[in-house]
Amino acid sequence: MRPVSSQFLLLKATALFVLWIMLSGSFNWIHLLLGATASLLIAWINSGHSPFVPNFRIWGKTILFLPWLFSRIVHSTLHVTKLILNPKLPISPKLLHVKTNLRNRAAVVLLGNSITLTPGTITAEVDDSTLIVHTLDDVSSEDVRSGRLEGKIASVFGNGDTSP
């Protein structure tokens, strides 16, 4: 078992605590105390599972990456909508094998999730360096094939791709 990162523990506990406040909606001190205790306890119990060590430096860049991703989602949603509403159904689905140079596991997770979140492409299998992507047609898979998405994510994570 890896040593528990106290930063990560606190982060988890804070997220849980925010969820607690949101669900209870009460700022009574006994409720807040109960919530803090419960979230710390849950974060501590679950601390052994996560393979990721958080890297706080990339968070700002990740948040900047999200609007771009959202614009791509809107773009491809409109494209898939046109495909579905077309009476001839002009789709040519196929499986792509996409090699990725990303070495950071969090980066691969972000890549796979972004691909799946974009309509028209879906990650079917993730290996260490290969993703099998199912696409609806060639237009919707353009971002993946041209490596644009991967480039964006690589720039989010910086060039420090050395840590596996």
Contact positions vs another protein (CB under 8 A): 19, 22-23, 25, 73-74, 77, 80-81, 84-85, 89, 91-95, 112-113, 116-125, 132, 134, 136
What is the Cα Rg of the chain in Å? 20
Q: How many helices (H) and strands (E) does the chain have?
A: 6, 3
- Bridge partner list, 99: 130
Q: Which is nearer to another protein, 4 or 66 (CB)?
A: 66
As measured in angstroms, the least distance from the Cβ of 130 to another protein is 13
As measured in angstroms, the least distance from the Cβ of 147 to another protein is 20
CB proximity list for 54: less than 8 A, separation 6 or greater? 5, 7, 8, 11
Q: Which is nearer to another protein, 7 or 81 (CB)?
A: 81
As measured in angstroms, the least distance from the Cβ of 119 to another protein is 5
As measured in angstroms, the least distance from the Cβ of 22 to another protein is 6
Phi and psi for 94 in degrees, rounded to 5? -155, 165
Q: Which is nearer to another protein, 36 or 117 (CB)?
A: 117
Q: Which strand (E) or helix (H) includes residue 59?
A: helix 59-85
Q: Which is nearer to another protein, 36 or 96 (CB)?
A: 96
CA distance 97 to 89: 24
